[in-house]
């Protein structure tokens, strides 16, 4: 990783996306796409944690993404049904807290993406000094079910995917 190209794959991807979006490979578009591909990663560099994420268990990552895709579709159908059929006074929209064991910034980022991609839930923040996730649920029926689901179905696989196992002494 160099100062000019902190994320070479991102530089190439941004340049290619620029060319695809403009439907042109003229020299001007290539130059502008390359400039965007070089400048944006340099600007974004301070926001990225050190090092690249290491996926320690690719099979578990694939299973988690497959499960999350099914869960997103299922939740989309459920939220749509609630919106179309429920009365406003029948909704129980609440904030809950979920204690987190994960510390890996890439794992936390992916957890936030998965939660925010699921209709009916919104990651609000990690409560400072408490290692708890503040979560808004559109129609809450059982807070403990949400805590258990996030801990077992999302956080635990993400810990296994991103965090190094502790070595027994």
pLDDT of residue 158: 93
pLDDT tier at 137, thresholds 50, 70, 90: very high
pLDDT of residue 92: 85
CA distance 18 to 36: 8
pLDDT tier at 164, thresholds 50, 70, 90: low
pLDDT of residue 44: 84
pLDDT of residue 168: 43
CA distance 5 to 41: 7
Query: In 3-state terms, what secondary structure has residue 115?
Result: helix
pLDDT of residue 6: 79
Digit-coded pLDDT (tens) for 1-57: 567 777 888 899 999 999 999 999 999 999 999 999 999 988 888 877 776 777 888
Digit-coded pLDDT (tens) for 96-113: 999 999 988 888 889 999
Contacts of 76 (CB under 8 A, 6+ apart): 119
Residue 142 has pLDDT above 80, yes or no: yes
pLDDT of residue 1: 55
Alpha helices, H only, the chain: 8-22, 27-44, 58-85, 105-117, 143-149, 156-162
Query: In 3-state terms, what secondary structure has residue 77?
Result: helix
Q: Give me the percent of the chain exceeding a pLDDT of 90.
A: 53
């Amino acid at each position: 990783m160099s100062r000019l190209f902190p994320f070479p794959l991102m530089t190439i991807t941004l340049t290619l996306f620029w060319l695809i979006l403009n439907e042109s490979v003229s020299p001007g578009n290539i130059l502008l796409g390359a400039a965007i591909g070089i400048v944006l990663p340099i600007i974004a560099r301070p926001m990225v944690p050190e090092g690249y994420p290491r996926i320690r268990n690719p099979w578990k990552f694939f299973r988690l993404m497959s499960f999350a895709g099914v869960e997103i579709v299922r939740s989309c159908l459920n939220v749509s049904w609630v919106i179309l059929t429920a009365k406003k006074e029948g909704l129980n929209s609440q904030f809950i807290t979920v204690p987190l064991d994960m510390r890996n910034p890439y794992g936390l980022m992916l957890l936030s993406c998965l939660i925010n991609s699921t209709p009916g839930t919104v990651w609000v923040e990690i409560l400072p000094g408490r290692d708890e996730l503040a979560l808004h649920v559109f129609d809450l029926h059982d807070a403990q079910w949400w805590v258990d689901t996030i801990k077992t179905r999302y956080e635990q696989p993400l810990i296994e995917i991103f965090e190094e196992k502790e070595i027994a002494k």
